[in-house]
């Protein structure tokens, strides 16, 4: 009997010790931030074993790096850059690129979200000091971009224009190319989320990469994941807060993220595929849904921004999504998600 009592006492002591050292339930998350996907990505993850959680987070960052290496149009070693080097030769795109192209169509926004604006974007020089494109050059680059197409065998290419202009040839200033940066981040985050989920070490997590966030699972204390949306004219002010109780995705597109000003006009990087000009009428648009993937939310925030607030509100309402927008006059519009979605939105301040 004495030995049995001693064994029970040892087991109780061991359970108490493992809870303290991280082998039992843990209420404190593991948080790691690294440079990735062109920004700083932060992962907040819960799990009973801190070391296993950290290992899973490391694997998640590795998964994101793989997607980035495949789809970075500005990295000469990427599969997408190889396609862009000879855009007129039918080439099989990598699977991740095809997934993005298919999802654009599935979401019903091919007119508002174009993956083929690489040359158009380069005309603006957003990565430099910024410049206003020559209207004739812009029109030619937009026309060349519109000639992109896929075949049924996984191949894709741009059709040559009849115009004789050396700048349209491979390597030229106006040569068309694919730029999937507006969606690749969301896809990379989706794959990182699945890596965390499948690790078995993580019970709940949030991945945030600047303007995009994905979540899965419920925090141990049952509280919601909360994501604040900044005022597009005052980054110190949070104008709305989205709260997820479990899985979800959110993305924000804004005219303040990459832009320059010339002659009193703001030129931002969210371009209308039809004209090549910055989309007008919106300062900031956030779309979120418990049913959305990170890829979906990334595509939709851009597409709905281009389509305008009225069209965006109708799309969100029809598809059971939450939407928060600020127009070019500083007026806010909120479209709530269905009550049963596990997603709520609260306005916390008026935008400037």
Percent of the chain having pLDDT more than 90?
A: 88
In this prediction, residue 12 carries a pLDDT of 33
What's the whole-model pTM score?
0.91
Asked whether residue 37 carries a pLDDT value surpassing 80, the answer given is yes
- Mean of the per-residue pLDDT values of the chain: 92
In this prediction, residue 14 carries a pLDDT of 33
Asked whether residue 83 carries a pLDDT value surpassing 50, the answer given is yes
In this prediction, residue 27 carries a pLDDT of 80
Give the tens place of pLDDT for each residue, 259-304: 999 999 999 999 999 999 999 999 999 999 999 999 999 999 999 9
Percent of the chain having pLDDT more than 70?
A: 93
Two tokens, residue 222: 């049952």
**Pairwise pLDDT comparison (19 vs 105), residue with the higher score:** 105
Give the tens place of pLDDT for each residue, 165-205: 999 999 999 999 999 998 999 999 999 999 999 999 999 99
Q: What domains are there in the chain, each with its CATH number? A: 75-178 (1.10.3980.10)
In this prediction, residue 21 carries a pLDDT of 39
In this prediction, residue 109 carries a pLDDT of 98
In this prediction, residue 56 carries a pLDDT of 98
Please state, in angstroms and rounded to a whole number, the distance separating the CA atoms of residues 91 and 155: 5
Asked whether residue 150 carries a pLDDT value surpassing 50, the answer given is yes
């Amino acid at each position: 009997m004495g030995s049995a009592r001693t064994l029970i006492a040892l087991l109780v002591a061991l359970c108490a010790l493992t809870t303290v050292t991280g082998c039992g339930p843990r209420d404190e998350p593991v948080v790691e931030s690294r440079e990735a996907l062109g920004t700083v990505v932060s992962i907040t993850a819960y799990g009973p074993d801190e070391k296993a959680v950290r290992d899973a987070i490391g694997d998640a960052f590795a998964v994101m790096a793989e997607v980035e290496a495949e789809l970075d149009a500005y990295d000469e070693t990427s599969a997408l850059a190889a396609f862009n080097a000879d855009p007129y030769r039918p080439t099989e795109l990598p699977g991740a690129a095809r997934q993005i192209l298919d999802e654009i169509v599935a979401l019903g926004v091919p007119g508002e979200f174009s993956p083929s604006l690489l040359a158009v974007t380069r005309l603006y020089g957003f990565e430099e000091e910024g410049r206003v494109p020559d209207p004739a050059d812009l029109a030619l680059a937009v026309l060349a971009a519109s000639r992109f197409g896929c075949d049924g065998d996984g191949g894709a290419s741009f059709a040559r224009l009849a115009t004789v202009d050396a700048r349209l040839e491979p390597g030229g200033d106006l040569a068309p190319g694919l730029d999937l940066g507006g969606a690749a981040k969301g896809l990379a985050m989706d794959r990182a989320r699945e890596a965390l989920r499948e690790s078995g070490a993580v019970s709940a997590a949030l991945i945030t990469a600047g303007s995009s966030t994905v979540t899965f699972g419920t925090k141990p204390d049952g509280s919601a994941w909360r994501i604040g949306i900044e005022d597009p004219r005052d980054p110190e002010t949070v104008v709305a807060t989205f709260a997820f109780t479990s899985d979800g995705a959110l993305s924000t597109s804004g005219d303040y993220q990459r832009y320059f000003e010339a002659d009193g006009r703001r030129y931002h990087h969210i371009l209308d595929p039809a004209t090549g000009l910055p989309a007008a009428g919106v300062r900031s648009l956030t779309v979120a849904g418990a049913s959305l993937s990170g890829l979906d939310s990334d595509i939709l925030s851009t597409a709905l921004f281009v389509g305008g607030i009225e069209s965006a509100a109708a799309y969100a309402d029809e598809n059971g999504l939450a939407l928060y927008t600020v127009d070019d006059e500083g007026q806010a519009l909120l479209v709530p998600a269905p009550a049963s979605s596990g997603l709520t939105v609260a306005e916390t301040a008026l935008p400037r």
